[in-house]
């Protein structure tokens, strides 16, 4: 088995022996003849590819479940505008031992440096209440480990180890830029909201070969979880100003902008408005770049196929 072979390196005509994690599994009816075939989505840290087993679909499907790691021996073919892997029953093996790093992408950033930059920014705050609150997080070893390693999503923007701090740092940079354009806003409050807005995500996801939603993440969501964690720390401080608390907690609750997008309230103060747009800008731009790149990998056409996720075609250039 080639442990260095990834989805991104697959080409038409290759005979492969590689490992993947199963993210989808379906038994489907043939369109042109009686019978059924197995379709699976195979993933590693570089991308995903469909796999097809044309014979013994039920028997092969019983060999593994979604979330399992499998060794696949098969052939890469080009079909209907995309690469796919075709394999047989004898070419599938469920693996019990594997290297998680083969399947989950890790941030390309120096997360220690990003953390140090954010901590240095906090140390420079003139507002002692915000400084003390944020340092209660950043001096916490458990928080430090989780904040640097957590993903920011299961399948959307920044869905990799270290994705949370990458996204947070970008939102902070956008907010600091906006505060220079709008000097009337409370810059330190804005930056505080940017740093804390997604901390609830640290308890929303668990990571193995896939990023999975925890029971708490699914039942409560990161907006509420982040609100309660910040509120708990504020209450522990004892002397945190009530009006400052209101504004900061409102920013966390409103950072998704609309009720239908997961916020119980819309932004109602200047700093919350900026945070909402900064968060949306970074998340959507990151998702746009990722999906456009994936859509363009297997084609030489000027236009990509249709992306259901972002509801558009992408111009790829000539």
Q: pLDDT tens across 35-71, in order?
A: 999 999 999 998 889 999 999 999 999 999 999 999 9
Q: pLDDT tens across 59-104, in order?
A: 999 999 999 999 999 999 998 878 999 999 999 999 998 888 899 8
Class of domain 104-292: mainly alpha
Scanning the structure block, which residue is given the tokens 């009816």? 29
Scanning the structure block, which residue is given the tokens 């440096």? 113
The one-character DSSP state at 104 is: S
Residue 31 has a pLDDT of 87
Q: pLDDT tens across 186-219, in order?
A: 999 999 999 999 999 999 999 988 899 999 999 9
Same fold, 7-101 and 104-292: no
Class of domain 7-101: mainly beta
DSSP string, 110-159: -HHHHHHHHHHHHHT-S-HHHHHHHHHHHT-HHHHHHHHH--S-SSSTT-
User: In angstroms, what CA-CA distances link 232 with 6, 69, 139, 243?
Assistant: 44, 40, 16, 16
Domain parsing of the chain, residue ranges? 7-101, 104-292
| Phi, psi torsion values for 237, nearest 5 degrees | -70, -35
Q: Could you tell me if 193 and 138 are in contact, meaning their C-beta atoms sit under 8 angstroms apart?
A: no
């Amino acid at each position: 088995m080639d442990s260095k072979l990834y989805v991104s390196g697959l080409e038409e005509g290759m005979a492969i022996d590689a490992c993947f994690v199963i993210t989808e599994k379906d038994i489907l009816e043939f369109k042109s003849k009686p019978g059924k075939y197995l379709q699976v989505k195979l993933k590693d840290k570089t991308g995903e590819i469909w796999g097809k087993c044309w014979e013994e679909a039920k028997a092969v499907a019983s060999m593994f479940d979604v979330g399992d790691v499998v060794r696949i021996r098969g052939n890469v073919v080009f079909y209907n505008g995309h690469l796919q892997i075709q394999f047989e029953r004898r070419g599938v093996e469920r693996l019990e031992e594997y290297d998680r790093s083969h399947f989950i992408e890790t941030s390309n950033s120096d997360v220690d440096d990003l953390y140090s930059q954010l901590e240095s920014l906090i140390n420079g705050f003139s507002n002692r209440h915000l400084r003390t609150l944020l340092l209660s997080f950043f001096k916490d070893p458990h928080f430090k480990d989780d904040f640097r390693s957590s993903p920011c999503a299961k399948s959307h923007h920044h869905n990799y180890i270290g994705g949370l701090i990458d996204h947070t740092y970008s939102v902070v940079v956008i907010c600091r830029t906006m505060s220079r354009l709008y000097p009337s806003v409370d810059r330190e409050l804005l930056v505080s909201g940017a740093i804390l807005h997604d901390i609830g995500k640290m308890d929303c996801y668990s990571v193995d070969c896939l990023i999975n939603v925890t029971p708490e993440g699914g039942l409560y969501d990161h907006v509420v979880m982040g609100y309660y964690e910040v509120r708990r720390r504020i209450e522990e401080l004892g002397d945190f100003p009530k009006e400052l608390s209101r504004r900061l907690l409102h920013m966390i609750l409103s950072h998704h902008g609309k009720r239908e997008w997961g916020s119980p309230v819309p932004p109602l103060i200047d700093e919350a408005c900026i945070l909402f747009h900064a968060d949306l800008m970074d998340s959507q731009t990151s998702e746009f770049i990722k999906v456009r790149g994936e859509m363009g990998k297997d084609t030489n056409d000027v236009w990509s196929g249709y992306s259901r996720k972002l509801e558009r075609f992408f111009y790829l250039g000539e």
